[in-house]
Structures are given as structure tokens and as C-alpha cells.
């Protein structure tokens, strides 16, 4: 025990004494120069557990397709990996809107984004996915059995394992495209985020167009209209319709992603598949989807709050808006008009003028 304690103390001292400041502090004690640590051994041996080399080789040959098909699988997987280039110039959301005059009507904006989204998803189904599965058949038609017709046995075969690998690579490319679109849409709407000072300035300037910060053009057109059934001013489209439409554009980006068919459908065309098999898309429960949606909702709510305040402001002038020449003619019919009636009209007009002037 004594030798152990001495060894530990010596080891600690040698470690600390290598520091130059520590040697200066203890120089009066005339200690020898610290010993340099021994170099790590260049050769050594360690025990390893016994293994069955042949069994390991068999497992690798069964599961690593490149071992069975030489370089064909590597070449094919490289083609699948680079197939994302087919999607490079296509997007799921149009945030640039080149050549489009703003502000836009809500229905036009929603329709445009729907066309952009559906166009890419149709291309992915009919061109991108087909190009990948055609490459699979072309490269491995002589190695994998693409003409199996027993569905229950199929998922235990090498063919199933390989096509699942292809689906995983396709799913990652799809995910990158969807996540990129979600981020782009969120960043685009966040450009319309208003702090309290901006909101007050907008309100004072009585701007009634939705999503209109001073730095960029408004996005959506909104109008004040009179509802004949209630005789009240309303915004068209309604605030609820605007919020619903903008969030629907966001939701549809990822909801469509779960409807792309697996490569199994195209390659294993002899199988009687009981139900559709899709590659893994992006779902609404994922943290990224939830977080970006919450940010978008916050921006929309700020802008709708400003629009509601503007509506409340103009509602004060409803009397002036609703008063027509005919209504004054009716007052003046059968002159002389009653003085109390004229006084009431003048009082209402003065109050409306005072509200307008501020």
C-alpha cells in the first residue's frame, strides 16, 4: 500500500513539475529536471475473441450487395444518389414570384402555389421515380429476380432488401426537397413580421392591405365591403379565410410527400400487392414541421390583428358610407323639414367629420 501511495504522489508531482511556472516556483529546492514520459509502444498484442471468418463472410456476402454484383450496385447507387439533380430547378413553393404584380388576390395566390406544388409532385411520380426504377432494372436485371409473384415471400428476399435501400435514398431526397420548401415559405412570410413600432406606424397610416411592411410590397389584397344583410363593414376575404389559406399552403407541402409510391410498385410489377406501399415522407408531428408552422401562425396573427384594428377604425365612418343622396332627398321632402330632424343629421355629420380628422 505504501508503494502505491508513493507512486501516485510521484506521478502527480512529475505531471505538475513539467509546467514551467511550477518549476520557477520551486527552483530554490533544487529539484532535478522532470523526467519525460515514455513514448507509446509501437508494437503490441491484444487478445481478440474467437470468430468464424467463413460465417462472417457469408453474412457480408448475403447483405452487402456490392459483394455479390461487383461494381454494378455501387454504380447504380451512385445513379440514385445523383438523381436529385433532376429536381434541382423545380420547387414546391414559389417565393420569388418573378413578373407577378403585388398585392395579389388570395384565391390567385393560393391557386398559383397549388399549381407549383402539384407540378413538382407529378414530375416526381412520372419522371424522377421512373428514372430511378428504370436504372435499377437496367443495371441488375440479370442478378436480382424482378419477376417474383409471391408477395409473402418477397419481403425476406435480397430483392426486397435492396429495393428498401433504394426507397430510403429516394425518401432522403424527397425529405430534403420538402424541408427546403417549408423553410423557404416560413422565411418568406417572416419577412412580413411586424414589431410593435411597425404595427403602430401601419395603423396610423391607415393601411388596409394585409402583410404590408414598409420595406417590401404587400402580398395579399383585402377590401372593405358593406355586408347588406348586417349593414356592417367587413374585410374581403375574411381574416379567417386568409389565415386558413396561408396555413393550407404550408400543410399541403408536406402532406403530399407521403403519397409517392415505393420503387417496389414499379420494379416488382408481377407482385399482387394488397395495399399501396409509399416511401417515407414528412409528417405533421415532426419537430421541424411544428416549429415552422408556429412561426408562420405568429406572423399571420400579427398581420391579421392589424387588419382587424383597421377595420374597427373605418367602421366608425359607416354612417357616412351608408348615407346616400336619396336619404337626404327624403329628409328634404315636404319642406320645411323639421328642425330637430335637421339638427340630428348635422350632429351625426359633425361627429363623423371629427372622427375622420382625428
pLDDT in tens, 67-118: 555 667 778 888 888 888 888 889 999 998 888 888 899 999 999 999 999 9
**What is the structure's pLDDT at 69?**
57
Burial class (CB in 10 A: 0-12, 13-18, 19+), 230: exposed
Predicted local confidence at residue 342, as pLDDT: 65
Contact residues for 256 (Cβ-Cβ < 8 A; gap 6+): 117, 118, 121
Q: What is the pLDDT of residue 337?
A: 56
Residues of the chain with pLDDT under 50: 206-214, 357
Distance CA 303, CA 285 (A): 26
Q: Is 232 left (phi over 0), alpha (psi -120 to 50) or beta?
A: beta
DSSP-derived letter for residue 287 is H
Q: Which helix (H) or strand (E) holds 233?
A: strand 232-236
Per-residue DSSP letter, 31: P
pLDDT given at position 330: 62
pLDDT of residue 311: 83
Q: Provide the residue count of the chain.
A: 358
| Secondary structure element (H or E) that encloses residue 226, with its range | strand 223-227
Dump pLDDT digits (tens) for 49-69: 678 888 887 777 766 665 555
The pLDDT score that the predictor gives to residue 66 is 56
Mutual orientation of helices 129-140 and 158-190 as an angle, nearest 10°? 160
Instruction: State which H helix or E strand residue 163 sits in.
Output: helix 158-190
Check: CB of residue 132 under 8 Å from CB of residue 166. yes
The pLDDT, as a whole number, for residue 106 is: 93
Q: Is 191 helix (H, G, I), strand (E, B) or coil?
A: coil
Q: CB–CB of 279/260 below 8 Å?
A: yes
Rounded Cα distance, 246 and 179, in Å: 17
Query: Is the separation of the CB atoms in 268 and 163 below 8 Å?
Result: yes
Which residues, in sequence order, are bridge partners of residue 225?
234
Amino acid at each position: 500500500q505504501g508503494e502505491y501511495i508513493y507512486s501516485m504522489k510521484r506521478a502527480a508531482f512529475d505531471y505538475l513539475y513539467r509546467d514551467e511556472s511550477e518549476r520557477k516556483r520551486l527552483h530554490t529546492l533544487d529539484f532535478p529536471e522532470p523526467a519525460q514520459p515514455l513514448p507509446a509502444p509501437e508494437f503490441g498484442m491484444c487478445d481478440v475473441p474467437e470468430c468464424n471468418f467463413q460465417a462472417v463472410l457469408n453474412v457480408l456476402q448475403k447483405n452487402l450487395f456490392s459483394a455479390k454484383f461487383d461494381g454494378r450496385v455501387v454504380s447504380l447507387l451512385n445513379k440514385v444518389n445523383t438523381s436529385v439533380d433532376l429536381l434541382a430547378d423545380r420547387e414546391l413553393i414559389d417565393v420569388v414570384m418573378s413578373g407577378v404584380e403585388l398585392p395579389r388576390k388570395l384565391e390567385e395566390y393560393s391557386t398559383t402555389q397549388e399549381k407549383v406544388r402539384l407540378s413538382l409532385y407529378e414530375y416526381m411520380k412520372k419522371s424522377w421515380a421512373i428514372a430511378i426504377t428504370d436504372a435499377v432494372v437496367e443495371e441488375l436485371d440479370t442478378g436480382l429476380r424482378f419477376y417474383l409473384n409471391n408477395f409473402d415471400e418477397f419481403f425476406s428476399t435480397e430483392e426486397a432488401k435492396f429495393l428498401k435501400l433504394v426507397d430510403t435514398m429516394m425518401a432522403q431526397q424527397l425529405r430534403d426537397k420538402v424541408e427546403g420548401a417549408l423553410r423557404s415559405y416560413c422565411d418568406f412570410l417572416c419577412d412580413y413580421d411586424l414589431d410593435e413600432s411597425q404595427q403602430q406606424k401601419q395603423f396610423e397610416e391607415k393601411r388596409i392591405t394585409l402583410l404590408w411592411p414598409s420595406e417590401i410590397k404587400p402580398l395579399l389584397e383585402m377590401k372593405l365591403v358593406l355586408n347588406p344583410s348586417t349593414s356592417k363593414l367587413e374585410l374581403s376575404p375574411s381574416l379567417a379565410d386568409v389565415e386558413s389559406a396561408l396555413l393550407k399552403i404550408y400543410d399541403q407541402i408536406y402532406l403530399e410527400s407521403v403519397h409517392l409510391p415505393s420503387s417496389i410498385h414499379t420494379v416488382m410489377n408481377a407482385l399482387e400487392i394488397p395495399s399501396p406501399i409509399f416511401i417515407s415522407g414528412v409528417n405533421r408531428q415532426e419537430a421541424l414541421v411544428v416549429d415552422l408552422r408556429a412561426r408562420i401562425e405568429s406572423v399571420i396573427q400579427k398581420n391579421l390583428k392589424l387588419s382587424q384594428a383597421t377595420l374597427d377604425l373605418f367602421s366608425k365612418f359607416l354612417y357616412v358610407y351608408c348615407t346616400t343622396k336619396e336619404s337626404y332627398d327624403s329628409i328634404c321632402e315636404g319642406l320645411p323639414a323639421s328642425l330637430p330632424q335637421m339638427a340630428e343629421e348635422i350632429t351625426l355629420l359633425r361627429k363623423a367629420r371629427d372622427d375622420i380628422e382625428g
